[in-house]
A and B are shown apart, each in its own frame.
Chain A
Amino acid sequence: DGGITQSPKYLFRKEGQNVTLSCEQNLNHDAMYWYRQDPGQGLRLIYYSQIVNDFQKGDIAEGYSVSREKKESFPLTVTSAQKNPTAFYLCASSPSTGGGNQPQHFGDGTRLSIL
């Protein structure tokens, strides 16, 4: 079945360490997104990518980095510069820009905690 796979489901980070969250989709979607979810704050956009080898900062990009070398993959690195990384991270994808109903589809999330 087509879908979005995020891994790992739980991740722990030590002080000063970079960690990478994986997001893979087999929906043939052009656009991919990373959101951070904190209790009572809804979803905040970290980065998004409309096409391979291109990505844009969202509202809270500081302390994060991404790459988009393949259409199906959009990994997120949480760097040591992100001082409060404990959160639930959600990856999403949607078809390319254009008309019509093109909702975002979500993975099951990765919960990141500080050791």
Chain B
Amino acid sequence: GEDVEQSLFLSVREGDSSVINCTYTDSSSTYLYWYKQEPGAGLQLLTYIFSNMDMKQDQRLTVLLNKKDKHLSLRIADTQTGDSAIYFCAERMNTGNQFYFGTGTSLTVIP
């Protein structure tokens, strides 16, 4: 299957910016997504970017896509303790309805 890689852990201080990174190997993806998972819950869709875009901003969230390097990032401005969760990147493939998820990054926000 597709390889989608993320760092496992990230710690930031409250009020700082968080940057969560994701790399993937297949260039035929159409849309790329960021999901948030709180303990014991399902995945909640945060934001997405179409594969022909470089950047998308949505309130405190900024998504950057470098298609040449197959690198996706999620920046959370003014990180709050409520942002502590696991964050998954995912790509939807061009053919069929397959999705590939990264391994997830556990974000800890230190008060």
Give A residues with C-beta under 8 Å from B.
Answer: 4, 6, 31, 33, 35, 40-43, 45, 48, 50, 59, 90, 92, 94, 96-97, 101-109, 111
Contacts and interface: CB of A to CB of B under 8 A. Distances in A.
Interface residues of B, number: 25
Contacts of B42: 4, 6, 90, 106-109
B45 interface: yes
Interface of B: 1, 6, 8, 31, 33, 35, 40-45, 48, 50, 88, 90, 92, 96-99, 101-104
A20 to B, nearest CB: 19
17 contacts: A33-B99, A41-B103, A42-B88, A43-B88, A45-B1, A59-B1, A90-B43, A94-B97, A96-B97, A97-B96, A97-B97, A101-B31, A102-B97, A106-B43, A106-B44, A107-B42, A108-B42
